[in-house]
Structure 1
Amino acid sequence: MDRTFHPRRSRSIAPLVAVAAASALLVAGCSSSTGGKKAEEKASGIAAGKATTPRMTVALVTHQAPGDTFWDIVRKGAEAAAAKDNIKLVYSSDPNAGNQANLVQNAVDQKVDGIAITLAKPDAMKDVVAKATRAGIPVVGLNSGVSDWKKLGLLEFFGQDESVAGEAFGKKLNEVGAKNAVCVIQEQGNIGLTQRCDGVRKTFRGTTQILYVNGTDMPSVKSTITAKLKQDSSLDHVVTLGAPYALTAVQSVDDAGSKAKVATFDLNKDLARSIQKGDIQFAVDQQPYLQGYLAVDSLWLEKNNGNYSGGGEQPVLTGPAFVDKSNVDGVAAFAAQGTR
């Protein structure tokens, strides 16, 4: 699917990157005098690549489940932006939607300068986002909620369209000759995960089964997938929705004595190595580091320069892009340092 590849993504994020780059260039090269340079640094709010603007506090509140290393990458990107922008970053998470809403409420009560949230279960976030808006606190979305961020009144969104990603995944399964796939959902009720499997089912010409597992209990994930593979020997592909579950599915395939192949959404360093080894066919990379970075950086840009990525009307897409044996070597180094 041509529209999901790097060229479009590069264009989508270009305006935001250009703002930061232009500011840095302004500081580095536009003045030949010390006085002029200092004046320009003051005007741009950036000196030596770091913000000189007043200290901000930003809350990043996600639906991270305990042990899900995907969010470590999101957080790492957010921390990099915070360090650049003179921001105090307050991170919190809870996979329970009600608890996540309470964490957002805590941020509102603390009168932070900005909030970045995920909308895995958008209905649960509706009221607390409205409270933040009434309190004059800008809220942006990342990762989950591409279909709902505007309805909830968020200023911007950074992530991938999960339906588009799922449809691209289904087409990829057709290309590799898959006939019978099981899509493993690790968190029931998570709208983004559901959209991924629905997208796969929409474009995949074979049979798509759905298997629910308890994503917070990896031994249970392993045994559930193993049992499914033993029960249905016709399954030729296991589709997982996160890197840790893909790595566990590889073990399940081995335990079941199955010939099924594993492909997945999302990436980490161990998964990149597994693609290199041939244990996993391919992964869809949504660039979680970029999601965290852009979400936090956007709040600084909005406050200090009035910028809105996507004009406040369009999401900034960070994926999907496929990683397989043909290109994994170029990605593995970045995955190893925790930035992909």
Structure 2
Amino acid sequence: MATANLPTTIRAVYQQDPKLTTLKLVQTPIPQPAGPQDHLVKIKGTSPCLGELGWEVSFPDLFPPNRERVPGTEAAGIIATSPPSSPFKPGDEVYFRLHARFPGCLREYTIVHTEELALKPKTLDWAEATATPLSTLTAWQGLFSKGILNKTGISGDADARAHNSKLRVLITGAGGSVGAWAVHFAAAAGAGAVVAQCGSANVEAAKKAGATEIIDYKKQSIAEWAQEDASREVDLVLDCVGGSSLAAGWSAVKENGVLLSVVASPDDLKPESVTKKLAKSTWYLMDCKGDDLKEIADFIDARGLKPQIDSVVEFEDFQAAYDKVEQKKAKGKVVIKVDI
């Protein structure tokens, strides 16, 4: 199934050298679907991910040789063509996160696979939908797939909520893009306690999202907070910060608890004084699962939630957008307009 009047060439941005973060705008042939899962998607917007332009150097085994080096792993857009067996049809409005090994979304059209796709939340505009997949998937999977909360608690399942009500969860970086979503998800699933570590400026937002306890990192460390009262120990730590916050997570997690990080290996930062054993302590990468994004879209639409957006910039400002993210100057997601 195809949309008529597709262009033969498109604007695309390339990272020509994986060792450099400089990007170049070029004109290229429109990508051609080649497999039974391939959809051609007209990109509305894409959002840079911190560290993205260094992944090929850091993880060379993940990337095929001579790949088309187009950055931008998360996006929203409109299906232009779809394979015969696809549940998605031309004209569908979708959002997704691509596997990083594939050419990305900083171009007018790209190829997206069935497993990665979901219809975008109806309550989000194109910029908001663009800024949503990566952060929400990371938070959702950290709590429900990799973590120990039962996601069906969100839909009111009594057994799941009973299970979740016995669990205490600590989320570090709760003022950031991933952490803020994690607070919403954990609270909605009925976690017994949702402890949010964030700065003073984000305390009220964390409480509104459902946090039951706050650690203001500008006033107190996680270790200090945990040592004040042994009953504060948590069953699950979801770390979105790394560094000293991740190391301090060992002070807060219970014996046989779970310590997950999206930043670094918890075992590498385990303090020598800690002797407790955990059921799981690991760094994880989110999976590009459209099925999860479908559930997330339903959650967002039901509650009217929005992602954190730092700025929305024109397509031609792609280099400045990536530089801002790489320099950690963005407060929320930077969205690059491709056709918004």
TM-score calculated relative to the size of structure 1 = 0.35
Higher relative contact order (CA 8 A, sep 6+): 1
Higher helix share: 1
TM-score calculated relative to the size of structure 2 = 0.35
